[in-house]
């Protein structure tokens, strides 16, 4: 049984609730346990994963958050740098599922977040578990 840490940027609470529901359901269905920690925004997710990984308590990580395009360049920075940070950690051997939505508007986010539609939270959890299995296979 694996211990999975869900790291969520709780900027859009109603959307995160949907992503979390999907992620938790996928982890529960796979027979694993999970904890959730909250960070201020998507940029803080990679740092939280890195800090948590130092504890040795977790086998895999699920990143959850929503970044909606606004009128400034900030969207590109947050979307790109959060993904880059997670990819760097993955390349260092961590099993991470990236469920940070980067969308144009709330309607797109809702479609992707709802467990009965695109279920990107559940998909991120399944990706983390798949990467964990692959790491165990090659480790």
pLDDT tens digits for 98-131? Answer: 999 999 999 999 999 999 999 999 999 999 999 9
Binding-site positions for 5-amino-6-(D-ribitylamino)uracil read 11, 42-44, 66-68, 98
User: 3-class secondary structure for the chain?
Assistant: CCEEEEEEECCCHHHHHHHHHHHHHHHHHCCCEEEEEEECCHHHHHHHHHHHHCCCCCCEEEEEEEEECCCCCHHHHHHHHHHHHHHHHHHCCCCEEEEEEEECCHHHHHHHHCCCCCCHHHHHHHHHHHHHHHHHHHC
- Residues 29-81 have pLDDT tens digits of 999 999 999 999 999 999 999 999 999 999 999 999 999 998 888 889 999 99
Query: What residues are annotated to the active site?
Result: 74
Assigned architecture for domain 3-77+86-138: 3-Layer(aba) Sandwich (3.40)
Q: How much is the pLDDT for 72? A: 83
Binding-site positions for (2S)-2-hydroxy-3-oxobutyl phosphate read 71-72, 112
User: What's the pTM?
Assistant: 0.96
Domain-wise residue ranges, the chain: 3-77+86-138
Q: How much is the pLDDT for 139? A: 80
């Amino acid at each position: 049984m694996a211990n999975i840490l869900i790291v969520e940027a709780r900027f859009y609470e109603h959307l995160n609730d949907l992503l979390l529901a999907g992620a938790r359901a996928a982890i529960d269905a796979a027979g694993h346990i999970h904890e959730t920690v909250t960070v201020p925004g998507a940029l803080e997710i990679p740092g939280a994963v890195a800090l948590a990984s130092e504890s040795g308590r977790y086998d895999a990580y699920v990143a959850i958050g929503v970044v909606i395009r606004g009128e400034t360049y900030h969207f590109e920075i947050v979307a790109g740098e959060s993904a880059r940070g997670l990819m760097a950690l993955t390349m260092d051997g961590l099993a991470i599922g990236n469920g940070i939505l980067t969308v144009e508007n709330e309607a797109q986010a809702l479609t992707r977040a709802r467990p009965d539609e695109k279920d990107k939270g559940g998909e991120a959890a399944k990706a983390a578990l798949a990467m964990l299995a692959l790491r165990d296979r090659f480790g």
